[in-house]
Amino acid sequence: MLRKLFAALLVTFLTTQMASAGKLTIAAFGDSLTQGYGLPAGDGLVPQLQKWLRGAGEDVQVLNAGVSGDTTAGGLARIDWTLTPEVGALIVTLGGNDLLRGLNPADTKSNLDGILRAAAKRSLPVLLVGLVAPTNFGPDYKTEFDKIYATLSAKYNTLFFPSFLGPLREHGDQSEILRNYMQADAIHPNAKGVAIIVDELGPFVKKLIDLAREQNVDKS
């Protein structure tokens, strides 16, 4: 009981301190691509994005809410307890494990819809990061999957970054990208690949920050 009481008091204290400091907290909600799988602690998406934002003059906190192996169903199951009171904006990057398992795109869409609906209920601005399906499961599967993110972004009026790995395509053909910017599993970007992604993702996150601050002004 004492441990639980201490934990509750600690959470309350930290939340109060963050709120009083006025620092915006952005939850980066995703799977291993967000979590930083296979990379040293400072080289993953969240720390590199945090560094990029600080370099751009943004004093915000990016919370690593990435869980390796998570599907959109797993994300939906944990979204409510991820969106704690101090979270003021949300980045959603989920669906990669649905792709790897060949899960039904209709289920992926439904799960992502639930995640975005949870954010909308809290009036949180969202940046939705899309994924592009490979051709492994046929053209029909690819067509259905690829349209999920743009459709949901329009429905919930989110900011939209069309493809997480898209920025790497400007840096060579597939063999060059795999050799220079991906880890040995050919699924996760290496530190150099993450840096390229962050350079293009960063301005979208700045727009997300602006939206969050505008909403805070409106509420006050």
Q: Give me the active site residues, please.
A: 32, 185, 188
The answer to whether the CB of 201 falls within 8 A of the CB of 53 is: no
Across the strands, what pairs with 25?
61, 87
- Render the chain in DSSP notation, one character per residue: -HHHHHHHHHHHHHHHHHHHHT--EEEEEESHHHHTTTS-GGGSHHHHHHHHHHHTT---EEEEEE-TT--HHHHHHHHHHHS-TTEEEEEEE--HHHHHHT--HHHHHHHHHHHHHHHHHTT--EEEE-----STT-HHHHHHHHTHHHHHHHHHT-EEES-TTGGGGGGS-HHHHHHHHB-TTSSSB-HHHHHHHHHHHHHHHHHHHHHHHHHHHHH-
Query: Letter for the amino acid at 174?
Result: Q
Give me the count of residues in the chain.
220
d(CA 182, CA 15): 37
